Structure 1
């Protein structure tokens, strides 16, 4: 699991002082653009996610029950699909500017003014609209678990709703807020398709350009190491925020927090705030994709989608099987071993926090070198050259998927093992069952729901994954994500609306599962 990071670190050190090293102008630009994007998205997602969670947990207003779960739906929309959809929606030929020209009688863009969506502010708006649920989910869970006695005491002492929010609710929710904002920032660093489409020189986009356009592995490796350092800082901040939770108040989880019934204009203001968030993060992207997909339904579009769907399902299915098997083994080792093994497994699951572009870049050269050594060996032994086995096949993608999504399968299976306990396995051993018999008659059957859940989550994550697939896919193979990326980059996103809609529909699966799980826990 550590091979790509170790290889990148070695390549970055080897490039120091060389002609292919990191130029002085690239790193400051990448850090400045990435830092500003992360800061802007972090502030915006933190503000709207916190306010949305505060509204649905503390107040009653029209459609609050629907907003309670629906505000999570933007997580089903990948950032790059949201970017393409917003450009189509707000661009010159889109419905907004078309309606505006119909009102003022203009025929060209020079006759009226409209902000350019493909800009830094557009990137902040689009990324924030689909990433705010990270903050919303974290803060909502915190508010539901928080004792209401402090808020009641503040209101009894004469504090109004706003003062109670800023002096009591906001300080107490800081750990949950930091966790959600950190996750949103990590998604910003991982993004490739959206930032490229908006013309933002983020560090991930520059890594991709440095490797693909300039073939400069040393410079790309140095930038990739900087990404890993940025991610490490975010992980440390998130862990510190979790550690600070020990002093928070607790409550009986069976008693829901009291909600104040809003009246008059305040109830419609709360309704409008939640409705706008849902429309920006889910309504506009999905509506635009649906409109384009059904407006341009042509045989070639359907054929193109089916051609990309087959390798997508194949890769996602195989990747889910491989990742779940590794996650199951890791969970069993962590369950039976000491602190050292558990620490090593915890490090191995950090691949989920590292951008796919960085992982793919770190695997390109070692897998190519392995193919070279294997071909030399077969030539020496059997005078046969098999060609590219690892770097030019699906094996490379399965490898990077296992690194990237091991945390998803491991955390699900580890939690299931802890909840089940060891009593049934101990009873089986007492009755004389051997290891394989225990595995197939007790262990796997009792973990089947968790295994299916982990496989589903990994399957959907692979369907949506773009950066690593873009770099490591075999020649002539397109997945749904790479097909959408290729069409959008040449201005033909309308032709890719159908595969994009398939990706969104697949992304709804984990959201629905999480919502059903949350409903069960409430009961």
Structure 2
């Protein structure tokens, strides 16, 4: 029979083996989802449950929009990547990196800009009325951009780079022997594309389409502006307009399940479909020169994609921003710029520190700790609306408990410390973008290896000295890159900021949203242009890193 000392030794050993910090991190990052799940269960059968037709309508319209965007982004993204990697035509090198630029335009900004261009008072319809002499919309026909097809077209125009980047990387790493063999056997370019290129690129295509569809689920501003009853828009209106937290929680859990299915589908596609053959990635694949009309068709196709996804939105924003350059517009933009930069900088610092800790724990610990950290980084796949909704009640409850404690001890009530302050936003930002910082830092740590740290220990460095003299300096580029990416993501983030911002605080994203929703998008063009300029930063960084890898 074990003695008391042996029992204490076994319990201590098990406690030490338990990855407490990774599990605590996973619990903190998973708090919103856990709270929503519990709230959704409590609301079943209650007065705050879902309406009879709310969920079916949300799923139908969201599913239709996802399928439409998936088909459009998959088609144009794959063709664009196939053209720039397999053929030589004028401006190909420019299109090679420029086709990524639409990623700098948030979906809600693209929606606002397109409506300004294609609406009744926009330049296109105004020119059409000037030509045919019409005075009202009854005198001529023009498609309504605020519709399901309009939303699918606009979202696809800025989301196709997800498919383009994934397929382009796949084609550059793929051996060209299969295509050469097909052409040798007499297959033409189109037949080779459909019988060889398309089947072998299926894993990359699925990855890109999945990412695009996840962005559709995450979107709030664009679907609301187009009048689409998407599930995120219904969650927002259910909570804000009807104060029905139980119904909103059930819808949010449905979103999590949809996202989970997309992630599982993407992982199965990568696991079960591996068609890549080995090739020296430093040698670009052979490109066939296009001749006659085909070369100009390729140029026209790439120009069309670039114009739809980047030219029209940014051009309209720049036109409106410089046309409505009033002192009050500049003052309004600067007032929103200060909290935006403050939140983005603080959120980037916190998220990078947490990402560094998570990467170091995953690097040193076992499978249990790595699994917990992987769960903690899943917040990036969850829409900001869902995360914000899941934090509203627990943070409010924490404020209530804290105020009761201070009243009992010091008869002092501090008010809303967590749910009504910047702390709530910083918390949701760290959950939402932890995957961005963790993946960047973890990749850098694996690339660096441990030999340089071992050398530092041999030379007598330990603890904080090893951290600040060797560890952090060698990871500095990755830390800076992760901070930059998180900073830009926070600047563009709309749903979570819209739900959790303190009273009186306006960021660039919420300012654009509030002005556009009341028909004053011209006043919001300048802050919208700032958001796009911020979004160009990661695109430029990615392009420069890609150019360095080619050298």
Which of the five TM-score ranges fits, normalised by the shorter chain?
Answer: over 0.9
Shift of 1:110: 1.5
The corresponding residue for 1:100 is: 128
Q: How does 1:372-387 map to 2 (within 5 A)?
A: 372-387=400-415
Q: How does 1:153-302 map to 2 (within 5 A)?
A: 153-244=181-272, 246-302=274-330
The corresponding residue for 2:18 is: none
Shift of 1:112: 1.1
The corresponding residue for 1:342 is: 370
Shift of 1:246: 4.1
Shift of 1:432: 1.9
Shift of 1:297: 0.3
SS at match of 1:385: coil
The corresponding residue for 1:4 is: 32
Q: How does 1:306-385 map to 2 (within 5 A)?
A: 306-385=334-413
Shift of 1:77: 0.1
Shift of 1:245: 5.1
Shift of 1:82: 0.1
SS at match of 2:547: helix
The corresponding residue for 2:25 is: none
Shift of 1:309: 0.1
Q: Give the alignment partner of residue 87 of structure 1, picking from 110, 115, 129.
A: 115
Q: Tell me, in whole angstroms, the C-alpha distance in 2 between the residues paired with 1:244 and 1:46.
A: 19
Runs of 4 or more above 4 Å deviation? none
Q: How does 1:428-447 map to 2 (within 5 A)?
A: 428-447=456-475
The corresponding residue for 2:67 is: 39
SS at match of 1:20: coil
The corresponding residue for 2:90 is: 62
Shift of 1:254: 2.1
Structure 2 spans left out of the alignment, 5+ residues: 1-28
The corresponding residue for 1:391 is: 419
- What per-residue deviation string (whole Å, max 9, x for no partner) do you get for residues 47-101 of structure 1? 0000000011111111111000000000000000000000001111111111111
- What per-residue deviation string (whole Å, max 9, x for no partner) do you get for residues 333-361 of structure 1? 00000011001101110000000000000
SS at match of 1:2: helix
The corresponding residue for 1:148 is: 176
Shift of 1:250: 1.6
The corresponding residue for 1:476 is: 504
The corresponding residue for 2:537 is: 509
Q: Tell me, in whole angstroms, the C-alpha distance in 2 between the residues paired with 1:221 and 1:317.
A: 30
Shift of 1:463: 0.1
Q: Tell me, in whole angstroms, the C-alpha distance in 2 between the residues paired with 1:517 and 1:41.
A: 29
Q: Tell me, in whole angstroms, the C-alpha distance in 1 between the residues paired with 2:214 and 2:275.
A: 27
Q: Tell me, in whole angstroms, the C-alpha distance in 2 between the residues paired with 1:431 and 1:67.
A: 50
Q: Tell me, in whole angstroms, the C-alpha distance in 1 between the residues paired with 2:384 and 2:92.
A: 37
SS at match of 1:131: helix
Q: Tell me, in whole angstroms, the C-alpha distance in 2 between the residues paired with 1:474 and 1:66.
A: 44
The corresponding residue for 1:129 is: 157
The corresponding residue for 1:22 is: 50
Whether 1:459 aligns to 2:487 is: yes
The answer to whether the 8 A contact 2:355-2:441 is kept is: yes
Bigger mean CA offset, 361-370 vs 419-428: 419-428
The corresponding residue for 2:453 is: 425
Q: Tell me, in whole angstroms, the C-alpha distance in 2 between the residues paired with 1:168 and 1:139.
A: 14
Q: Tell me, in whole angstroms, the C-alpha distance in 1 between the residues paired with 2:488 and 2:280.
A: 35
Q: Tell me, in whole angstroms, the C-alpha distance in 2 between the residues paired with 1:215 and 1:507.
A: 34
Q: Tell me, in whole angstroms, the C-alpha distance in 2 between the residues paired with 1:263 and 1:458.
A: 44
The corresponding residue for 1:407 is: 435
**With structure 1 as the length reference, what TM-score do the two structures score?**
0.99
The answer to whether the 8 A contact 2:202-2:273 is kept is: no
Q: Tell me, in whole angstroms, the C-alpha distance in 2 between the residues paired with 1:17 and 1:71.
A: 50
The answer to whether the 8 A contact 2:201-2:275 is kept is: no
The answer to whether the 8 A contact 2:172-2:285 is kept is: yes
- What per-residue deviation string (whole Å, max 9, x for no partner) do you get for residues 436-490 of structure 1? 1001111111111111100000000000000000000000000000000000000
Shift of 1:248: 2.1
Shift of 1:257: 0.6
Structure 1 spans left out of the alignment, 5+ residues: none
CA RMSD of aligned residues (A): 0.7
